[in-house]
């Protein structure tokens, strides 16, 4: 008998007996409506019965997938075998030093390095994370930040996988690591120009909302000083320094509103002053240049426009337009240089880099020479340079790093991702399709396949989607994905509403009371792939994670017949219970994305699609659901409850598997190779269902 479980008849043909979570009735009432949640008790993380249930589900998953164990190992070795083990990033220059990340063969973690002056100088290893991670099941270093005098390195460490970081400071001259006792932070930090004042952001212990900015004085005995607290529970906050090194900037933001406070970086003891009064619905971000700030904003501009204002007169009334709003172009970001301004724009789903001379206003676009690609600005720390560092990739082109001379318009390829064992891009084909949605909108689909394995009647196809927060899933290269393509799979991305592929309206049409467009678009993309014979009934699979896991839960409720198998990674599926509980991390900051269920109309709309609340007694496709016990983004109990309810109610004999990583959180295992064991399980699950077992 599993702890916390009952034995039940096996619903999965020829598989071991599945655990069945006990039921403890819990009534949840809002707006006169009562939901009965029999698995609410699974949110007790410290309860031994809960741990016993999760372990029982893990054991069941292992037994069901036992026949694929060797295949999983083959896939894992194949995936990591394509990765160049001894490798390093392209060095970038910052404040007189060259910085880069290096990996050594057989080791899981990076070495963060730098060289002074030239690349021929002696290497200094700032952090060897392999040595630091010894004795830890999970270890992550983030937020490396060097002081202006190049002596002090601040960085954040998480050993639990709950994204609560302790900050350490290393003296790069002596090698001594200081522990200032700074805990429960975002991991990031910012040095003032005096090289002794460090600002960092603390999280709320329970909700994990970043809400306080503190000032730490190096070597001082005094307690750290609270310099800003964000009291609006729908906002998060943080701090950074402008590229000009002239201003410290405290930002606060919710889904729909931005707010900033600025301070002279040479005067860290002074008070931060508001950039402009907070205004709900006004979104913007700022970057300093000479005696002014550039502002990318949605002020009377749904797709954003560029404005500027004197750095001593920053209120909105002083903002002047530089680049006007365009209905067909989304302004995504800017990069400021001494002589050039680079604007990252998105048109027809593709990113364009626009180069503008600061003095003359002359401009041109960087020519990528292809019709379908992904490009974006990379690390550009230097201000006085003619070189723009950018990255380029497509579904058939490995990740590539370029330097572009903005004056001569010459490109230099610095590095292209090496696929160990060889890779011929001409053997693969990528396409952009458009599916007509049920309300008449054309939804883009990006797909890739191996030409020699493409079948006229259709191939097994994996359709991936996300569709939330305005996040665009760009078509990029993945050497990992070759394990599917080389076995005859088509991989497709549905660029559904809720993302921002086709501009800000694309996002606005997939959230709040239009959220169901996201789910409908994904289903309509699947129908299009079937109609165009890229795949065939019984050979279509779906995958999504986090908010994309919500997508998976919604589409299997709505159209379970479409899918042979579905992978839902760390899925946000218990929408109602989570969004009604303000003590859960992220909840209050999500109201502008999903709606506030404390109000009746949003409650009823969200209830109508919440995957957990809409499980029915019917057939469901094969499902693999993954989670992490320490997940701070989507709590482990959401997928656990969902699986328990599905197992109790579904009428089919298809596989239903829950895999909980008992050591990790939202992002899975740490390290360079270890996470691919989870990928190997997901791929083995899909390939096995497609009848491919080697």
User: In this predicted model, what pLDDT tens digit does every residue of 322-352 receive, in sequence order?
Assistant: 999 999 999 999 999 999 999 999 999 999 9
In whole angstroms, how far apart are CA 366 and each of 156, 344, 382, 390, 617? 36, 11, 20, 10, 55
Which of 470, 478, 477 has its CA nearest to residue 496?
Answer: 470
Domain-located, residue 60? no
Contacts of 639 (CB under 8 A, 6+ apart): 549, 568, 570, 571, 573, 625, 626, 627, 658
C-alpha span between 258 and 639 (Å, rounded): 32
Pair 671, 109: CB distance under 8 Å: yes
Domain-located, residue 76? no
The SS3 of residue 249 is strand
Domain boundary among 370, 396, 417: 417
> How many domains, in total, are found in the chain?
4
Together in a domain, 150 and 125: no
Together in a domain, 128 and 218: no
Together in a domain, 629 and 593: yes
Domain that holds residue 352: 329-417
Domain boundary among 355, 390, 417: 417
In whole angstroms, how far apart are CA 44 and each of 66, 355, 625, 665? 30, 54, 20, 16
Residues serving a catalytic function are 546, 631, 666
pLDDT recorded at residue 633: 66
Domain-located, residue 571? yes
pLDDT recorded at residue 7: 36
Pair 579, 605: CB distance under 8 Å: no
Domain-located, residue 411? yes
In whole angstroms, how far apart are CA 309 and each of 322, 332, 432? 10, 19, 40
Question: At 632, is the pLDDT very low, low, confident or very high (cuts 50, 70, 90)?
Answer: low
pLDDT exceeds 70 at position 424? yes
Together in a domain, 435 and 565: yes
Question: At 674, is the pLDDT very low, low, confident or very high (cuts 50, 70, 90)?
Answer: confident
Together in a domain, 435 and 455: yes
pLDDT recorded at residue 10: 36
C-alpha span between 268 and 246 (Å, rounded): 11
pLDDT digits (tens, 9 = 90+) for 82-112: 998 889 999 999 999 999 999 998 888 999 9
Burial class (CB in 10 A: 0-12, 13-18, 19+), 118: exposed
Domain-located, residue 233? yes
The position carrying tokens 């699974």 is 42
In percent, the amount of the chain with pLDDT more than 90 equals 85
pLDDT exceeds 90 at position 503? yes
* Average pLDDT rounded to a whole number, residues 657-677: 76
Together in a domain, 145 and 225: yes
Domain-located, residue 252? yes
pLDDT exceeds 90 at position 634? no
pLDDT exceeds 90 at position 573? yes
* Average pLDDT rounded to a whole number, residues 47-76: 96
pLDDT digits (tens, 9 = 90+) for 233-281: 889 999 999 999 999 999 999 988 999 999 999 999 999 999 999 999 9
Together in a domain, 221 and 366: no
Pair 544, 464: CB distance under 8 Å: yes
Pair 477, 393: CB distance under 8 Å: yes
Run of H or E including 576:
helix 575-579
Domain boundary among 368, 394, 417: 417
Together in a domain, 503 and 553: yes
pLDDT digits (tens, 9 = 90+) for 472-501: 999 999 999 999 999 999 999 999 999 999
Domain-located, residue 515? yes
Residue 351 has, within 13 A of its CA and on its CB side, a CA count of: 23
C-alpha span between 126 and 30 (Å, rounded): 54
Together in a domain, 402 and 431: no
C-alpha span between 383 and 246 (Å, rounded): 12
b/e 300-319 (16+ beta carbons within 10 angstroms → b): ebebbbbbbbebeebebeeb
Contacts of 531 (CB under 8 A, 6+ apart): none
In whole angstroms, how far apart are CA 254 and each of 82, 304, 510, 523, 592? 40, 17, 17, 30, 8
Q: 213: domain CATH number? A: 2.130.10.120
pLDDT exceeds 80 at position 542? yes
pLDDT digits (tens, 9 = 90+) for 151-203: 999 999 998 877 889 999 999 999 999 998 889 899 999 999 999 999 999 99
pLDDT exceeds 90 at position 221? no
In whole angstroms, how far apart are CA 102 and each of 10, 82, 126, 128? 49, 17, 11, 9
Q: 570: domain CATH number? A: 3.40.50.1820
Q: Where are the beta strands (DSSP E) in 451-599?
A: 461-464, 490-494, 540-545, 565-569
Together in a domain, 460 and 584: yes
Burial class (CB in 10 A: 0-12, 13-18, 19+), 33: exposed
Residue 32 has, within 13 A of its CA and on its CB side, a CA count of: 2
Residue 616 has, within 13 A of its CA and on its CB side, a CA count of: 12
Together in a domain, 397 and 452: no
In percent, the amount of the chain with pLDDT more than 70 equals 96
pLDDT recorded at residue 668: 53
Burial class (CB in 10 A: 0-12, 13-18, 19+), 222: exposed
* Average predicted confidence (pLDDT) for the chain: 93
Together in a domain, 650 and 677: yes
Domain-located, residue 198? yes
């Amino acid at each position: 008998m599993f702890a916390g479980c009952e034995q039940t008849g096996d619903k999965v043909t020829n598989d071991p007996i599945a655990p069945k979570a006990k039921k403890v009735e819990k009534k949840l009432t809002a707006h006169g409506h009562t939901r009965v949640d029999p698995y609410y008790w699974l949110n007790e993380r410290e309860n031994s019965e809960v741990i016993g249930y999760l372990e029982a589900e893990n054991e069941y998953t292992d037994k069901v997938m036992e026949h694929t164990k060797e295949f999983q190992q083959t896939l894992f070795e194949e995936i990591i075998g394509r990765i160049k083990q001894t490798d390093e990033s392209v060095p970038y220059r910052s404040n007189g030093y060259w910085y880069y990340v290096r990996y050594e063969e057989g080791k899981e973690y990076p070495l963060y390095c730098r060289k002074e002056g030239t690349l021929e100088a002696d290497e200094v290893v700032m952090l060897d994370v392999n040595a630091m991670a010894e004795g830890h099941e999970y270890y992550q270093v983030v937020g490396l930040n060097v002081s202006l005098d190049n002596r002090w390195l601040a960085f954040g460490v998480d050993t639990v996988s709950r994204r609560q970081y302790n900050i350490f400071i290393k003296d790069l001259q002596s090698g001594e690591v200081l522990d200032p006792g700074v805990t429960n932070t975002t991991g990031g930090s910012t040095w003032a120009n005096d090289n002794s004042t460090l600002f960092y952001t603390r999280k709320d212990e329970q909700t994990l909302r970043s809400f306080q900015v503190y000032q730490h004085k190096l070597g001082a005995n005094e307690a750290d000083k609270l310099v800003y607290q964000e009291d609006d529970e729908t906002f998060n906050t943080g701090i950074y320094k402008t590229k000009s090194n002239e201003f410290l900037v405290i930002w606060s933001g919710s889904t729909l509103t931005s707010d900033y406070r600025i301070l002279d970086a040479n005067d860290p003891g002074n008070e931060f002053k508001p950039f402009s009064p907070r205004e709900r619905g006004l979104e913007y971000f700022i970057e300093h240049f000479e005696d002014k700030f550039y502002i990318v904003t949605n002020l009377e501009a749904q797709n954003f426009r560029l404005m500027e204002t004197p750095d001593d007169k920053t209120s909105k009334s002083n903002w002047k337009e530089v680049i006007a709003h365009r209905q067909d172009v989304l302004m995504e970001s800017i990069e400021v240089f001494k002589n050039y301004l680079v604007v990252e724009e998105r048109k027809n789903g593709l990113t364009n880099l626009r180069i503008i001379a600061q003095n003359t206003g002359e401009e041109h676009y960087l020519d990528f020479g292809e019709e379908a690609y992904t490009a974006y600005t990379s690390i550009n720390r230097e201000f006085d340079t003619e070189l723009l560092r950018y990255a380029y990739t497509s579904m058939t082109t490995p990740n590539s790093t370029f330097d572009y001379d903005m004056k001569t318009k010459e490109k230099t390829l610095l590095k292209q991702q090496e696929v160990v064992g060889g890779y011929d891009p001409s053997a693969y084909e990528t396409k952009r399709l458009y599916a007509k949605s049920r309300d008449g909108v054309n939804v883009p689909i990006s797909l890739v396949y191996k030409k020699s394995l493409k079948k006229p009647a259709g191939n097994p196809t994996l359709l991936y989607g996300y569709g939330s927060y305005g996040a665009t899933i760009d078509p990029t290269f993945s050497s990992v994905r070759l394990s599917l393509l080389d076995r005859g799979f088509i991989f497709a991305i549905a660029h559904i509403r809720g993302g921002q592929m086709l501009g800000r309206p694309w996002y606005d049409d997939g959230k709040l009371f239009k959220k169901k467009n996201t789910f409908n678009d994904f289903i309509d993309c699947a129908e299009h792939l079937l109609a165009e014979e890229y795949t065939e009934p019984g050979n279509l699979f779906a995958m999504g994670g986090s908010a994309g896991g919500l997508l998976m839960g919604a589409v299997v409720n709505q159209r379970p017949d479409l899918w042979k198998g579905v992978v839902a990674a760390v899925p946000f599926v218990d929408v109602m219970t989570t969004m009604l509980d303000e003590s859960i991390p992220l909840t209050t900051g999500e109201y502008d994305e999903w709606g506030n269920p404390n109000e009746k109309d949003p409650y009823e709309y969200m209830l109508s699609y919440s995957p957990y609340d809409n499980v029915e007694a019917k057939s469901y496709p094969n499902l693999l659901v993954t989670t992490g016990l320490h997940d701070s983004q989507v709590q482990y109990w959401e997928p656990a409850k969902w699986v328990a309810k599905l197992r109790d109610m579904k009428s089919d004999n298809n596989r239903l598997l829950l895999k909980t990583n008992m050591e990790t959180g939202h992002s899975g295992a740490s390290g360079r190779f270890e996470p691919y064991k989870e990928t190997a399980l997901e791929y083995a699950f899909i390939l096995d269902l497609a009848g491919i077992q080697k």
